[in-house]
DNA sequence: GTAGGGTTAG
């Protein structure tokens, strides 16, 4: 070995060990300076190490500035360096970096470097994280086949993940999954997670059960995915079952697992169980705090939510924009107008966080619920961004509840012009008309809807019974299996009336006579679910229901009566929040 | 040196 070669070798070794000691970005920058001084800017070994170090310190731009520098010689790069680069860029949460990963793959091919079995998992991960995975994903799949790596277990598992990140891609994901001669825990977790991502939580739970039958042992990642499904479904029994499963199977209680558990319990109605998980967590991230605050907000426990936020600040955790959504919605659900205002102002002044439309939406809701419709309107006019349909719908509900019918009507007309195919907008307008007793206008709406083929989203309520999740859909055909359920709804109606209940007919969309309207109300999904629970469950046990829409005025009133007449606690999670019905009253204090 | 996972207005 000649002298200059051994000198270069020594420099290379020095830098590699220097990079090993880099545990902060300033140290990384020092190493970068040494690297340039020693002329190692084209050394693939050093550049690879530098890339993976800068990636683990979330400072990939340092590495990119080196690789893109005019001094570097990309012709020296090997497959290993490209793999490292693609992996590091795929790992980033910035879409532009994910895209860069994909372009490095092309560059690699242009330089006639062969991808190996490690390349495709990295590439597919980048594609999954980048915008429009459905465009590049199938091409990458074809490339994996061409280079004979498509049968590799790691590649297939990442294919499942990639396809399930494409909208509607769970079919393709399932095809890959079903075609695998051998699967492992990652394949199952990826598929279960894919179902959750597509909003198919029931399928996710079903696949989890299949996984257990097949003898593949779930791990902490599987459990996190199943817990998200659980949170989505509001399946408390399943949530509790998973909790004991984790204990029994000694599945490591990682931070994401505890966060998922805490979030699922809160979203399934066991907020105190969620708080217990939170208190016992050995370490917490901002996600843990946010889940607790959101959970308390959903249960109308705004004071406690705000207290938790203050505790978080005392603990030295820096708030982000997401946690403020929880704080503001807590204030709104608990009628804490002044606090809400203060927190909103503090976002920018104290924490330098620019409010987004979601935060403004919380403020509009805060004023609206408190009956301050004018302030809500003024707030909308002073927002730095233009209002979106969510904001308009919040305002319209406020107009309806607080009797500002003309304003409500004019806003709804604008909204209908923006979103003519959105069924819930017509429902809102129809309800405004019903309150102002303009029946002819109301029936006009119905005609427009049927003419244009605009459909209402059907109401759907979920209820767990005997370890199964039962689904009730509003206006479902009278199924023979549920004959007794419909009879029970009729009987409930009679009993409630004796107790003083008067059906609220104004929200029925159909242009039919009063008696038929009452029948239509009887078919609302939560009434079916409650009737089922009254028939099947032991006296005085709590009834828990999760539904997809907001509770309608009639079901809200009826459920209050049911809780008293039948002596049951009834917990309903609707689109927005929890309602705890007990002894004729609701925890939302009729504010929802 | 490889894959799957946690919070987000109404």
Tell me how far apart the alpha carbons of residues A499 and A94 are, in angstroms, rounded to a whole number.
59
What residue is closest to B3 (Cα–C1')? A154
What residue is closest to B6 (Cα–C1')? A256
Chain B nucleotides covered by protein, CB below 7 Å: 1-10
Straight-line distance from CA A225 to C1' B5, in Å?
6
Straight-line distance from CA A549 to C1' B8, in Å?
19
Straight-line distance from CA A258 to C1' B2, in Å?
27
- Residuewise pLDDT in 10s, chain A (592 residues): 567 778 888 888 889 888 888 888 888 888 888 888 888 888 878 888 888 888 787 777 888 777 777 767 767 678 998 999 999 999 988 899 999 999 999 999 998 999 999 999 999 999 999 999 999 999 999 999 999 999 999 999 999 999 999 999 999 999 999 999 999 999 999 999 999 999 999 999 999 999 999 999 999 999 999 999 999 999 999 999 999 999 999 999 999 999 999 999 999 999 999 999 999 999 999 999 999 999 999 999 999 999 999 999 999 999 999 999 999 999 999 999 999 999 999 999 999 999 999 999 999 999 999 989 999 999 999 999 999 999 999 999 888 888 888 888 889 888 988 888 888 888 888 888 877 778 888 888 888 888 888 888 888 999 999 988 999 988 766 555 678 888 899 999 999 999 999 998 877 766 677 777 778 888 899 999 999 999 999 999 999 999 999 898 899 999 999 999 999 999 999 998 999 999 999 998 887 7
Tell me how far apart the alpha carbons of residues A154 and A216 are, in angstroms, rounded to a whole number.
17
Nucleotide nearest to A218 (CA to C1'): B4
pLDDT of residue A437: 77
Distance of CA A486 to the CA centre of its chain: 34
Straight-line distance from CA A84 to C1' B3, in Å?
15
pLDDT of residue A65: 79
- The arrangement of strands across the sheet holding A468-473 comes to A468-473, A460-465, A543-547, A570-573, A578-582, A585-586
Straight-line distance from CA A23 to C1' B5, in Å?
25
Straight-line distance from CA A84 to C1' B1, in Å?
8
Straight-line distance from CA A368 to C1' B8, in Å?
21
What residue is closest to B8 (Cα–C1')? A322
Answer for the pair A106, A142: CB distance below 8 angstroms, yes or no.
no
Nucleotide nearest to A393 (CA to C1'): B10
**Burial of A148 from C-beta contacts in 10 A (0-12 / 13-18 / 19+):** exposed
What string of DSSP letters covers A68-119? Answer: TSTT--GGG--HHHHHHHHHHHHH-S-HHHHHHHHHHHHHHHHTTPPP-TTH
Tell me how far apart the alpha carbons of residues A251 and A475 are, in angstroms, rounded to a whole number.
43
pLDDT of residue A452: 86
Tell me how far apart the alpha carbons of residues A74 and A54 are, in angstroms, rounded to a whole number.
19
3-class DSSP state of A271: helix
Nucleotide nearest to A286 (CA to C1'): B7
- Strand A578-582 and strand A585-586: the pairing is antiparallel
Nucleotide nearest to A358 (CA to C1'): B9
Residue with tokens 């008309």: A433
Tell me how far apart the alpha carbons of residues A149 and A144 are, in angstroms, rounded to a whole number.
5
Nucleotide nearest to A189 (CA to C1'): B4
Strands (E), A123-233: none
Nucleotide nearest to A193 (CA to C1'): B4
Tell me how far apart the alpha carbons of residues A469 and A133 are, in angstroms, rounded to a whole number.
33
pLDDT of residue A421: 83
pLDDT of residue A480: 53
**Burial of A14 from C-beta contacts in 10 A (0-12 / 13-18 / 19+):** middle
- Read off the DSSP letter of residue A543: E
Query: Tokens standing for A119?
Result: 């390349």
- Strand A543-547 and strand A570-573: the pairing is parallel
Give the count of beta carbons closer than 10 Å to the beta carbon of residue A92. Answer: 18
């Amino acid at each position: 070995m000649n002298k200059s070669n051994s000198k270069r070798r020594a420099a290379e070794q020095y830098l590699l060990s220097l990079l090993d000691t880099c545990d902060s970005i300033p140290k990384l920058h020092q190493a970068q300076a040494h690297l340039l001084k020693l002329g190692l800017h084209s050394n693939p070994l050093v550049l690879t190490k530098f890339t993976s170090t800068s990636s683990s310190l979330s400072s990939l731009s340092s590495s990119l500035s080196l690789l893109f520098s005019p001094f570097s010689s990309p012709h020296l790069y090997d497959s290993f360096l490209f793999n490292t680069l693609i992996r590091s860029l795929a790992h980033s949460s910035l879409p532009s970096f994910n895209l860069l990963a994909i372009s490095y793959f092309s560059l690699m091919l242009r330089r006639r470097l062969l991808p190996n079995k490690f390349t495709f998992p990295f590439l597919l991960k980048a594609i999954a994280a980048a915008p429009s995975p459905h465009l590049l994903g199938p091409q990458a799949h074809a490339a994996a086949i061409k280079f004979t790596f498509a049968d590799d277990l790691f590649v297939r598992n990442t294919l499942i993940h990639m396809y399930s990140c494409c909208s509607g891609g769970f079919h393709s994901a399932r095809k890959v999954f079903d075609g695998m001669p051998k699967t492992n825990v990652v394949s199952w977790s990826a598929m279960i997670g894919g179902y959750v991502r597509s909003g198919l939580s029931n399928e996710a739970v079903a696949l989890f059960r299949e996984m257990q039958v097949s003898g593949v042992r779930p791990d902490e990642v599987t459990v996190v995915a199943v817990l998200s499904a659980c949170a989505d479904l509001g399946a408390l029994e399943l949530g509790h079952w998973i909790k004991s499963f984790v204990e029994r199977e000694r599945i490591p209680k990682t931070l994401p697992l505890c966060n998922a558990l805490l979030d699922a319990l809160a979203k399934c109605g066991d907020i105190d169980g969620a708080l217990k998980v939170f208190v016992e967590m050995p370490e917490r991230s901002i996600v843990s705090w946010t889940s607790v605050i959101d959970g308390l907000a959903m249960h109308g426990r705004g004071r406690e939510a705000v207290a938790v936020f203050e505790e978080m600040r005392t603990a030295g955790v820096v708030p982000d924009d997401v946690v403020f959504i929880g704080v503001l919605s807590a204030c709104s659900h608990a009628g804490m107008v002044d606090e809400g205002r203060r927190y909103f102002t503090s976002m920018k002044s104290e924490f330098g966080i620019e409010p987004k439309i979601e935060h403004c939406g919380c403020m509009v809701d805060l004023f609206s619920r408190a009956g301050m419709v004018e302030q809500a309107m003024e707030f909308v006019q002073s927002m730095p961004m233009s209002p979106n349909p969510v904001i308009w719908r919040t305002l319209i509900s406020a107009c309806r509840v607080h009797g500002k019918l003309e304003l409500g009507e004019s806003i709804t007309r604008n909204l209908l012009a923006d979103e003519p195919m959105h069924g819930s907008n017509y429902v809102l307008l129809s309800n405004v008309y019903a309150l102002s007793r303009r029946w002819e206008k109301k029936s006009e709406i119905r005609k427009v809807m049927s003419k244009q083929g605009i459909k209402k989203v059907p109401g759907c309520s979920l209820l767990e019974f005997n370890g199964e999740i039962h689904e009730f859909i509003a206006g479902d055909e009278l199924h023979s299996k549920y004959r007794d359920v419909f009879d029970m709804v009729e009987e409930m109606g009679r009993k409630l009336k004796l107790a003083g209940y008067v059906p609220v007919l104004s929200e029925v969309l159909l242009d039919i006579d009063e008696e038929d309207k009452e029948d239509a109300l009887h078919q609302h999904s939560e009434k079916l679910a409650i009737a089922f629970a009254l028939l099947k469950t032991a006296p005085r046990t709590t009834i828990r229901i999760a539904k997809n829409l907001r509770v309608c005025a009639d079901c809200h009133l009826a459920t209050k009566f049911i809780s008293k007449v039948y002596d049951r606690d009834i917990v309903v999670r609707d689109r927005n929040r929890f309602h705890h019905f007990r002894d004729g009253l609701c925890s939302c204090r009729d504010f929802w």
